[in-house]
Chain A
Amino acid sequence: MTTRYTRDHEWVRLDGDTAVVGISEYAQEQLGDVVFVELPPLGKTLAQGDEAAVVESVKAASEVYAPLAGEVIEVNQALADEPAMANQHPEGAGWFFKLKVGDRAAFDELMDGEAYERFLETV
């Protein structure tokens, strides 16, 4: 399954009309030890780029933005209970939330893994 990335360092994978969202390996490395995540309420409708979640490390706090427009249909309670998962498995078990999306085209406009690697060299 293709993983795509945003310039704000979220990743997103699309399965049918369900998008899974998390923060990238690079993001967790920059943040350091994650100690708290605040997840969006179920049912919340987000536009692309809206603030969706908050991730706090011992040294910083950042917003996690919705990479696609959609409705929040699931949040990762296991991550809320054990925020270190965002460090250990950022692009797997440490996912943040799932969105039900309408517009698949926006997904294809995001960076793929290679493009994101090239983008990281510029930041």
Chain B
Amino acid sequence: MRYLPHTEADRATMLARIGVGAINDLFADVPADKRLAGLLDLPAAKSELEVERILGALAASNVAAGSGPFFVGAGAYRHHVPASVDHLIQRSEFLTSYTPYQPEIAQGTLQYLFEFQTQVANLTAMEVANASMYDGSTATAEAVLMAHRVTGRRKAVISGGLHPQYRAVVETISTMAGDRFVALAADPAGSEAILEAIDADTSCVVVQSPSFYGHLVDLKPIAEKAHAAGALLVAVFTEVVSLGLVEPPGAQGADIVVGEGQSLGNPLAFGGPYVGLFATRQNLVRQMPGRLAGETVDAEGRRGYVLTLSTREQHIRRGKATSNICTNSGLCALAFTIHMTLLGETGLRRVAAFCHANAVRLADSFSEVSGVSVLNDSFFNEFTVRVPGNAADVIDRLAGKGVLAGVPVSRLEPDKPELADLLVVAATELNTDADRAAYVAALKEVL
């Protein structure tokens, strides 16, 4: 039996009240060709055996990331995650608990969130971090909204090195909030003049480093110019492992640091769920979105953890809350925390050094391939390559040879034909010499 609390009369009353004829009229904003006209063309019933057979065949048409040479990044990275991470997060206290924030019964959860925040603050060299956001892109959009609250200004300047999907999310969310933004042209060369775009109306400058195209950006002059104009610097990263080698954004003057934490603890998993990182300075903490775990003492003086500064949040502050996020990516944050704890500072630096060394060797190998050039003067584990002709076709031909060779920029920037010959290539500690040799050999064959 389906439990449907509303009667037909209830629905008619509600529709009449909001002035809508039928429930389907509420979906008018969804383009007609994206709506399902009827039921899916599926058989009414199949046996378990048949379902396993059919879905197994469908799954077999995927090429798994670990099945061959894999150099795909552009916001999601394949790293080695120790088996102990998965084992620990499967404990039912963590895995199946829903919004476990009551201090009386959830000290374990609150403590790992506190430790997660401490790790994020240390990695970014910031003073305070929240208990996580949904992912890097929504964290970036929230940073833009926060900058508007802090400065009272409503124009964000967005670097052309920001991941195109992050830019799209920022544009969607800030537009809905009634804000403006200036998005600089895509910057594959890493040479944009962002300082000139900062003016007295600017709430924040949003800069990704390493950029979507892999360039390391010196944030200090941007921070100086932004601060002189009364604006904030929002520093973004998509590869958290980079913080094991590059100077953290907090040390370069960033006011808000946001990024994607997937690389630590979390598998690619078809693009999610991931974990957004969000850190800022102490004096801005009351404008920060998201949950925040704090350390305190109980009535007997024993250490304990509670959610704190909740008056920023929607369940108390209603429409004036700093964000409509009333949760966090708890399990992904836990995986991050366990992986980071297992690595420690030394381990993270070693993984980062491996990633960078593999990327350097790969970039060097491309010099053997005629017609292919690396655009970057600097990079961490990801860089941009110009290939003869259409990069998407090259990727398809390489996939035919079993090499998953990167992301054609046209896939994320389909409306910019000037970027169609560019390829973003990433390396991690998982790439072997054999992977690299296979990539270079296949590339020579398909060009």
Q: Using a CB–CB distance below 8 Å, which chain A residues touch chain B?
A: 36, 38, 56-57, 59-61, 63
* Least CB distance, A77 to chain B, in whole angstroms: 16
With A and B bound together, what is the CA distance between A56 and B316 in angstroms? 11
Q: Is B317 an interface residue when CB atoms closer than 8 A count as contact?
A: yes
Q: Which residues of B contact A61 (CB under 8 A)?
A: 311, 316-317, 320
Chain B stretch 300-328: residues in CB contact (< 8 A) with chain A = 311, 316-317, 320
Q: Which residues of B contact A59 (CB under 8 A)?
A: 316
* Least CB distance, A72 to chain B, in whole angstroms: 15
With A and B bound together, what is the CA distance between A38 and B312 in angstroms? 13
Q: Is B286 an interface residue when CB atoms closer than 8 A count as contact?
A: yes
- Highest count of chain A CB atoms <10 Å: which of B311, B316, B317: B311
Residues of B in contact with A, size category? under 10
Convert B285-302 into 0s and 1s, putting 1 for each residue whose CB lies closer than 8 angstroms to a CB of A: 010000000000000000
* Least CB distance, B388 to chain A, in whole angstroms: 59
Q: What's the count of A-B pairs with C-beta under 8 Å?
A: 13
* Least CB distance, A22 to chain B, in whole angstroms: 20
Give the contacting residue for B316; candidates A36, A60, A63; CB below 8 A: A60
Chain B stretch 246-296: residues in CB contact (< 8 A) with chain A = 286
With A and B bound together, what is the CA distance between A59 and B320 in angstroms? 15
Q: Which residues of A contact B316 (CB under 8 A)?
A: 59-61
Question: 13 A-B residue contacts at CB 8 Å?
Answer: A36-B286, A36-B311, A38-B286, A56-B311, A57-B311, A59-B316, A60-B311, A60-B316, A61-B311, A61-B316, A61-B317, A61-B320, A63-B320
Q: Is the interface of A mostly helix, strand, loop or mixed?
A: strand
Convert B61-76 into 0s and 1s, putting 1 for each residue whose CB lies closer than 8 angstroms to a CB of A: 0000000000000000
With A and B bound together, what is the CA distance between A61 and B321 in angstroms? 10
With A and B bound together, what is the CA distance between A36 and B317 in angstroms? 14
Q: Which residues of B contact A56 (CB under 8 A)?
A: 311
* Least CB distance, A83 to chain B, in whole angstroms: 12
Convert B101-127 into 0s and 1s, putting 1 for each residue whose CB lies closer than 8 angstroms to a CB of A: 000000000000000000000000000
* Least CB distance, B412 to chain A, in whole angstroms: 40
With A and B bound together, what is the CA distance between A123 and B407 in angstroms? 63
* Least CB distance, A18 to chain B, in whole angstroms: 26
With A and B bound together, what is the CA distance between A61 and B316 in angstroms? 7
With A and B bound together, what is the CA distance between A56 and B311 in angstroms? 7
- Highest count of chain B CB atoms <10 Å: which of A56, A57, A59, A61: A61
With A and B bound together, what is the CA distance between A63 and B320 in angstroms? 10
With A and B bound together, what is the CA distance between A61 and B315 in angstroms? 11
Instruction: Return the chain B residue nearest A51 by Cβ.
Output: B320
With A and B bound together, what is the CA distance between A109 and B316 in angstroms? 32
Q: Which residues of A contact B317 (CB under 8 A)?
A: 61
* Least CB distance, A71 to chain B, in whole angstroms: 18
With A and B bound together, what is the CA distance between A59 and B317 in angstroms? 10
With A and B bound together, what is the CA distance between A57 and B317 in angstroms? 12
Q: Which residues of B contact A60 (CB under 8 A)?
A: 311, 316
* Least CB distance, B314 to chain A, in whole angstroms: 11
* Least CB distance, A17 to chain B, in whole angstroms: 28
* Least CB distance, B416 to chain A, in whole angstroms: 43
With A and B bound together, what is the CA distance between A56 and B287 in angstroms? 13
Instruction: Return the chain B residue nearest A54 by Cβ.
Output: B320
With A and B bound together, what is the CA distance between A38 and B320 in angstroms? 14
With A and B bound together, what is the CA distance between A59 and B315 in angstroms? 11
What 7 A-B pairs have minimum CB-CB distances, sorted nearest first? A61-B311, A56-B311, A61-B317, A61-B316, A60-B316, A60-B311, A36-B286
